């Protein structure tokens, strides 16, 4: 009975709570959800006390990374999938970093990489997001993804490393996982 309970507990994919998209702008079929961020970009600013999509992605990562399939219930789930994949990439970059300073440098270098949008080589989920209808939409989506990746990176460092600057093995162990069977670069 305990084994069955354990399997059932982890057999549910966690979905985004952002299902009401009234008044939310979109680019490439993705909602441009508000962020608790000080980083410049196209995302609307969210209240600091509220939960945003980055909080959800980090909270649900260790459960969702085990799944090979993901039932999409809202367009915010697409963003959750993208962020789960990005966290997986970031953890792989942090895997060899033994201090917070090394990890910060690795994350900054990851942030400097080109951010592909749907239809461009290197975009990890062809068909998940719609193709941009104009160069303005492509730039808007690229800038949003860049902003959300930077925000996710900063928050990820605070869970991947302990306050004394040493790696948190309970997070970095997940760098070995392949999300949705996609091999990360």
- SS3 of residue 172 by DSSP: helix
Domain ranges of the chain: 28-176
**pTM for the whole thing?**
0.85
80-111 pLDDT, tens digit per residue, is 889 988 998 999 899 889 999 999 999 988 88
The pLDDT value given to residue 160: 94
Contact 14, 64 (CB under 8 A): yes
The pLDDT value given to residue 8: 36
Alpha-carbon Rg of the chain, whole angstroms? 16
10-61 pLDDT, tens digit per residue, is 446 666 666 666 678 899 989 999 999 888 999 988 888 888 899 999 988 8
Question: Which superfamily does 28-176 belong to?
Answer: Actin-related protein 2/3 complex subunit 3 (1.10.1760.10)
117-145 pLDDT, tens digit per residue, is 999 998 888 888 999 999 999 999 999 99
Nearest to 105 by CA among 49, 153, 174: 153
């Amino acid at each position: 009975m305990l084994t069955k309970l354990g399997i059932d507990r982890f057999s549910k994919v966690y979905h985004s709570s952002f299902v009401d998209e009234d008044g939310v702008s979109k680019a490439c079929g993705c909602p441009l959800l508000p962020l608790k961020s000080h980083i410049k970009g196209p995302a609307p600013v969210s209240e600091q006390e509220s939960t945003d999509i980055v909080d959800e992605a980090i909270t649900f990562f260790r459960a969702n990374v085990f799944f090979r399939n993901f039932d999409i219930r809202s367009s915010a789930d697409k963003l959750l999938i993208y962020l789960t994949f990005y966290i997986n990439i970031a953890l792989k970059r942090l895997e060899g970093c033994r201090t917070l300073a090394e990890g910060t440098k690795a994350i900054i270098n990851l942030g400097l990489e080109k951010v592909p949008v749907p239809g461009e080589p290197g975009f990890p989920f062809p068909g998940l997001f719609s193709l941009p209808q104009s160069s303005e939409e492509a730039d808007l989506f690229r800038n949003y993804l860049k902003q959300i990746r930077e925000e996710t990176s900063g928050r990820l460092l605070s869970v991947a490393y302990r306050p004394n600057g040493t790696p948190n093995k309970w997070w970095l162990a997940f760098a070995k996982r392949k999300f949705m069977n996609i091999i990360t670069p």
